[in-house]
Amino acid sequence: AQSVTQLGSHVSVSEGALVLLRCNYSSSVPPYLFWYVQYPNQGLQLLLKYTSAATLVKGINGFEAEFKKSETSFHLTKPSAHMSDAAEYFCAVSWNTDKLIFGTGTRLQVFP
């Protein structure tokens, strides 16, 4: 079955440190890939999306993600964490473009 795996349900970093949130998907066929962010008691907001153009995708708030077909990965990074980045992050994958399969999410904590 097609699936999405986010390694690490919780990630903690210091303010100013590198943020790395991991996402792997199960199929070797490149799908559409997305990262969403959710702040407490709110809906999901799109951070960035990969749709078979450049493999390095830049999103909002200084985040970016790199699609690596050989590793079936789409990890999310940000060079320098800010306190406002504390939230839950979801990786999502679409194979047939009408349904999304979500990872279980990674909660990011940022310490001063």
Partner 1 sequence: DGGITQSPKYLFRKEGQNVTLSCEQNLNHDAMYWYRQDPGQGLRLIYYSQIVNDFQKGDIAEGYSVSREKKESFPLTVTSAQKNPTAFYLCASSATGAGLQYFGAGTRLSVL
Task: Provide CB contacts within 8 A for 63, sequence distance 6+.
Answer: 19, 35, 47, 48, 76, 77, 78
Among 34, 63, 74, 89, binds partner 1 (CB under 8 A): 34
φ, ψ (nearest 5 deg) of residue 99: -130, 145
Tokens of 40: 């407490």
Nearer to partner 1 by Cβ, of 50 and 81: the residue is 50
Q: In this chain, which stretch among 21-29, 44-52, 56-64, 71-79 interacts with partner 1, using CB under 8 A?
A: 44-52
Exactly one of 49, 66, 86, 109 binds partner 1 (CB under 8 A); that residue is 49
Q: How far is the CB of 1 from partner 1 (least distance, A)?
A: 11
Question: Which residue type sits at 89?
Answer: Y
Phi, psi of 98 (to 5 degrees): -110, -15
d(CA 8, CA 21): 8
Instruction: Looking at residues 53 to 112 of the shown chain, list those that interact with partner 1 (rule: CB under 8 A).
Output: 90, 94, 97-100, 102-105
Q: How far is the CB of 13 from partner 1 (least distance, A)?
A: 21
Closest listed residue to residue 67, CA positions, set 25, 98, 99: 25
Binding site for partner 1 (CB under 8 A): 9, 32, 34, 36, 41-46, 49, 51, 90, 94, 97-100, 102-105
